[in-house]
Amino acid sequence: MRTIFKDVALEVVKAIAPITIAIVILQFAFIRMPILLFVKFLIGVLLVMLGMWLFLLGVKIGILPMGEAIGSELPKRGALPYIIAIAFLIGFAVTVAEPDVIVLSHQVDIVSDSSISHILLISVIAIGVGFFVAMAMVRIVFGFPMAYLLAAGYAIILVLSFFTPPQFVPVAFDSGGVTTGPVAVPVILALGIGFSSVLAGKSPLSDGFGLIGLASIGPVIGVMVMGVILY
Amino acid sequence: MNGLNVFEGLGHTFLTVFISLIPLVILFLVFQFLYLKLPMKHVLNLFKGIALALLGIAIFLQGVRVGFFPVGREMGEMLGAVSHKWILIPLGFLLGFLATFGEPAVRVLSDQIERTSIGSIRKSVVLYTISFGVALFVALGMARIIYGIPLMYIVVPGYILAMALLWPSDKTTICIAFDAGGVATGPMAVTFLLAITVGIASAMEGRDPVTDGFGLIALIALAPILSIMILGIIVHIKLRRKEV
């Protein structure tokens, strides 16, 4: 336990020190922002370091083992529809509450002149994520290549982008980016690794990854389809 | 700017993160009582971890918001006004690299890759490859803003290249590459790099902060997909040479 605290602390310093040093050098070399702003920045750096330290510790001690426990229990409960339902539920639930998704829905409100409610957009994004996380689990079970799923997903996006009202295109891509935030990533990652680690003939390395990549496609398609239907 | 109230809004951040973890916890509890039945001490440890992560991410987001965001905005506005615009390109490369290097989700992914590959794929390799890819594409994004290149001229060829690279890549590399595309667009990159770009775009005439800002996120999501797949192909060729 002691060593993990120290290791993670060391990692956080290595992660945050470079960008901090770069900004401090830039500040003195030619940016010269107001001193109050600079002090705020330094306090921000301390908060970021403290926060990242606690977060990475918590991910290692809590989130990853919890996600893996659920993931590795799923195949033992057999039936595919059950696995699909749970995977969908996890993808949906993690996304509904992701802080960035909530921020994005406000932006969309502006783009659409309030014709799209927050609840509608958040639901569409979450259904997109849930659907693709479930697809990713089905993929692991049947072992069909990730390349096909990805190629199909991006082909659908490409085709949809011709029919989607132009103001929805940026929002659609943006929603793909924001869904995989710091809360969703460890949960979905652990789910895939836990799940594939107990399935016979699967290895977590070659089968367990890819859920996040697929999860980011879902909302793009979801929002584009919504744009096509609404306009 | 109202003084040093760096804790404003922390409660709200804490609440949203707290809510976002509830579904996982409920699902775990259901599984715990029905099937898992892990020892109580173990469960308590897991919950301690969840609490730490919760507290950590709230403090992290707060730090990004009070520290990195305003500085990014300020830097962007000053940089948008410099006379030698080309300097933004190397600067974009540097800041793109360093911001990704400090992104928590990128760390979690690299860590998990090293763990599940039992050390055969080193964490630092993944970390540097993702950061390098993002650096290159942020530099491209800067060039795009300076010279007014349409976003589609970079994104469409980029995704076509990504699709083409699917064929020579092995399945592990593909999965990792697309996961990396998802994790790179985390709070550090999106908040800090976006603030700089929006600042630059608003300081330059004829640039729309919203469109140019969006463009950056699309580029950051694309970058690691390409860099990881290219790394995978290079490693593959090297391994084959060794065998021969």
CA distances to A145, A181, A184, A204, B242 from A198, rounded to whole Å, are 19, 27, 22, 9, 33
Other CB atoms closer than 10 Å to residue B5's CB: what's the count?
9
What pLDDT sits at residue A20?
95
> Which residues of chain B make contact with A100, given a CB cutoff of 8 A?
187, 190
- Please tell me whether residues A161 and A81 are part of one structural domain: yes
Residue A214 has pLDDT above 80, yes or no: yes
Check A209 against B105: CB less than 8 A apart: no
For residue A69, tell me if it sits in a domain. no
Interface pTM, i.e. ipTM: 0.88
Q: Does A61 touch chain B (CB under 8 A)?
A: yes
Q: Which two tokens stand for residue B181?
A: 């595309």
Domain boundary among A64, A97, A116: A64
- Please tell me whether residues B29 and B54 are part of one structural domain: yes
Model confidence over A12-49: pLDDT tens digits? 999 999 999 999 998 888 778 888 889 999 999 999 99
Q: How many whole angstroms separate alpha carbon A220 and alpha carbon A179?
A: 10
Residue B189 has pLDDT above 70, yes or no: yes
For residue A169, tell me if it sits in a domain. yes
What pLDDT sits at residue B132?
97
- Which H helix or E strand runs over A214? helix A211-215
For helices A99-111 and A168-179, the axis angle rounded to 10 degrees is: 170
Average pLDDT (B60-85) is 88
Q: Which of B36, B68, B182 faces A73 most closely, judged by CB atoms?
A: B36
For residue B43, the 8-state DSSP code is: H
- Please tell me whether residues B168 and B193 are part of one structural domain: yes
Q: Which residue of A has its CA nearest to B172?
A: A206
- Look at chain B and report how many structural domains it folds into: 2
> Which residues of chain B make contact with A139, given a CB cutoff of 8 A?
none
- Please tell me whether residues A55 and A80 are part of one structural domain: no
Name the residue range of residue A54's domain: 1-64
Q: Does A5 touch chain B (CB under 8 A)?
A: no
What pLDDT sits at residue A57?
95
**Residue from A132, A92, A97 nearest B57 by CA:** A97
What pLDDT sits at residue A88?
92
- 3-class secondary-structure state, position A213: helix
What pLDDT sits at residue B1?
44
Average pLDDT (B107-135) is 93
Residue A115 has pLDDT above 90, yes or no: no
Domain boundary among B23, B51, B71: B71
Mutate to test the interface with A, among B60, B208, B219 (most CBs of A within 10 A): B60
What pLDDT sits at residue A1?
65
Q: Which two tokens stand for residue A88?
A: 């969908």
Contacting A residues, span 142-201, partner chain B, CB-CB under 8 Å:
145-147, 150-151, 154, 158, 170, 173-174, 176-178, 180-183, 185-187, 189-190, 193
pLDDT-derived band of residue B4, with 50, 70 and 90 as boundaries? low
- B143, B149 Cβ separation under 8 angstroms: yes
- Please tell me whether residues B162 and B233 are part of one structural domain: yes
Q: Does A42 touch chain B (CB under 8 A)?
A: yes
Q: Counting runs of H as helices and runs of E as strands, what totals does chain A give?
A: 12, 0
> Which residues of chain B make contact with A205, given a CB cutoff of 8 A?
113, 116-117, 121, 172
Check B67 against A44: CB less than 8 A apart: yes
Residue A126 has pLDDT above 60, yes or no: yes
Q: Which residue has the tokens 């979905």?
A: A188
Name the residue range of residue B189's domain: 81-243
